[in-house]
Copies of this chain bind each other. A is one copy, B any other.
């Protein structure tokens, strides 16, 4: 199902600045039994990202109405919300009277192999290095060509995700996920002040872990530190938590900390 500005439609205007320049933001999260998972956090991020780009964020009530319309058809699906700056003629200057375009798309809940959750996944270490743009870092905007180009590096269907570093070879995250590295019972997740996107699930896991006495450091992670980790796991709102079972020839057994944190996340009450 697709809603464009609240109306059922498959189409957007070809002059939309979302297409022309990637001038917009988005969120992706599951709908489960008609309820958008961690909605308050998702909306807050959408609002923050819109503000950072000086786009008027659609009201929460309006979006909840859209989500209810989708839920009545597809109570279990993945939702993607896109908000663009709207339609305009040519030129980078922001039109004074721009009216944001609001798009809500649903896709079927993905059917990942059970092994991804049990044994874990194989990942590819990407050659592409993420660029640093302080003016838009952290914003989940529509300029996602780096992710596309990184994802083009492998075709092997047994590789579920790729890991990305910045230009200084520090680990940043997956092409579609955040990353946590566990060593001696403590977690580290990369600082995302120069590139990367700080996801809602990353935030939830940091809170859940700290609340239960697990130290979480935000900082730099080298590839050597990554490979020396006791456990590594990837997170996003759709996959939840996937442990990494293999990077090239280095392998990891199923880890108790990752399993524990997954159960905390599954039982979290912040839906």
A118 within 8 A of B: no
Interface residues on A, range: 35 or more
Distance, CA A18 to CA B142, complexed state (A): 9
Q: Which residues of B sit under 8 angstroms from A105, Cβ to Cβ?
A: 14-15
Distance, CA A103 to CA B14, complexed state (A): 8
Give the nearest-CB partner of A167 in chain B. Answer: B132
Q: Which residues of B sit under 8 angstroms from A21, Cβ to Cβ?
A: 22, 142-145, 147-148
| A34-42, A90-98, A182-190 - the one binding chain B | A90-98
Distance, CA A128 to CA B14, complexed state (A): 28
A267 within 8 A of B: no
Report A12-41 residues with CB < 8 Å from chain B CB: 12-23, 26, 28
Give the nearest-CB partner of A28 in chain B. Answer: B90
CB atoms of A145 and B22 under 8 A apart: yes
CB atoms of B22 and A14 under 8 A apart: no
The residue from B14, B19, B92 contacting A147, defined by CB atoms under 8 A apart: B92
- A-side residues, CB < 8 A to B, are 2, 4, 9-23, 26, 28, 53-54, 78, 80, 82, 84, 89-94, 103, 105, 107, 128-129, 131-136, 141-152, 167, 175-176
